Amino acid sequence: MSIANATGLTFDRVEAKFMTDFLLSGKREAEVRLAAFQHTDAGDRQILSASSVLNLTGSASRSLGLVVMRWVHGIPYGWDYADETTVYTIELQHRYRKGPENTKGKTVYAIAAPEGSEVNGNILNWGYKQDDGGKWWWIPSYRENSPWAPDFVTIPNWDEGSYSISPLHYCVGLPSERIPEATAKGWAWTRGTGHTWGRDPDITEPYFSV
């Protein structure tokens, strides 16, 4: 996901912030990095630089996480002033390190029909049935050729088993005085999720296998 159009970028370093949800330690973990790309008018996309891989290890239970990354992007100054068609982007790339989970729904026995089946006048008749104690009860009795019938129905789990990263991000170029921690490998701070540093920058992996 693109988080910055770097055309005319003044500073050699950027700060990016984003939020996470449903990162669960040992179950749903992510690895992320920042990467800079050149896009030409011919439709080519070439990776120029990348940060190290940041492993987001989540927490024991669901929590919203905040991630701040500071990085020296390596885009040379002046390219865009000499070329009116080339675009440069800085992207936040992410993928599963662990997961996703296969969360299961709940199966119930219910009156069911194919989606879109009519309800009024097309479901059931009502009849009597006597229970073991001799009491009579109103019960549904199925009309001939009705699409409605008792069946096992699975209600999907509301939790899809995946983590999420906020689709809107903050990314800004800043001078070294503001973010002296920024390096070509990257610097990070997190809250609501644990983190470790993984692999060093690797521009031979341009799409992060996503």
φ, ψ for residue 34 (rounded to 5)? -100, 140
Q: What is the pLDDT of residue 163?
A: 94
- Written as six digits, the tokens of 188 are 């990070």
- Residue 73 CA to residue 147 CA, distance in Å, equals 61
Work out the angle at residue 48's Cα, subtended by the Cα atoms of residues 44 and 52, and round it to the nearest 5 degrees.
Answer: 130
Backbone dihedral angles phi then psi of residue 98, each to the nearest 5 degrees? -140, 140
Beta bridge partners of 58: 194
Q: Which of 69, 14, 18 is nearest to 36 (CA)?
A: 14
Distance CA 54, CA 7 (A): 26
Longest dimension (CA), the chain: 92
- pLDDT for 149: 76
Q: What is residue 85's predicted lDDT score, i.e. its pLDDT?
A: 65
Structure tokens that stand for 123 in this block: 């479901």
DSSP secondary structure of the chain: -EEEE-TT---SEEEEEEEEE--BTTTBEEEEEEEEEEE-TTS-EEEEEEPPPEEEEEBSS---EEEEEEEE--PPTTHHHH-SS-EEEEEEEEEEEE-------EEEEEEE--TT---TTTSEEEEEEE-TTS-EEEEEEEPTT-S-EEEEEEEPPSS-S--EE-SS-EEEEE-TTT-TT-BSS-EEEEESSEEEE-SPP-TT-TTTT-
Contact 26, 98 (CB under 8 A): yes
Q: Check if the beta carbon of residue 18 is closer than 8 Å to that of residue 169.
A: yes
Dist CA 148 CA 193 (whole Å)? 47
pLDDT of residue 198: 93
pLDDT per residue rounded down to tens, the chain (210 residues): 455 555 556 788 899 999 999 999 999 999 999 998 888 777 778 888 999 999 999 999 999 999 999 999 888 664 555 556 677 888 899 999 999 999 999 999 887 778 877 766 556 666 677 888 888 887 766 666 777 777 788 899 999 999 999 887 788 888 889 999 999 999 999 999 999 999 999 998 877 754
This prediction has a pTM of 0.75
State residue 173's pLDDT score.
82
